[in-house]
Amino acid sequence: MKTLYEQTQSIIEALAKQRETVTFAESCTGGQLAAAFTAVSGASAVFNGSVVSYANTIKERWLGVRASTLERYGAVSRECVAEMLTGITAIAEADYAVALSGIAGPTGGTPQKPVGTVYIGIRTPQRSAVYHNVFEGNRASVQHQSVIFAVEKLFEMLKK
Say which CATH number the domain at 56 has. Answer: 3.90.950.20
The separation between the first and the last C-alpha atoms of the chain, rounded to the nearest angstrom, is 18
How many domains does the chain divide into?
1
Q: Is the pLDDT of residue 1 over 90?
A: no
In this prediction, residue 85 carries a pLDDT of 98
The phi, psi pair for 72, rounded to 5°, reads -80, -45
Q: Is the pLDDT of residue 160 over 80?
A: no
Domain containing 28: what range?
4-159
In this structure, what DSSP letter does residue 66 have? Answer: -
- Full-model pTM: 0.97
In this prediction, residue 33 carries a pLDDT of 98
Q: How confident is the model at residue 128 (pLDDT cuts 50, 70, 90)?
A: very high
The span from the CA of 123 to the CA of 3, in Å, is 22
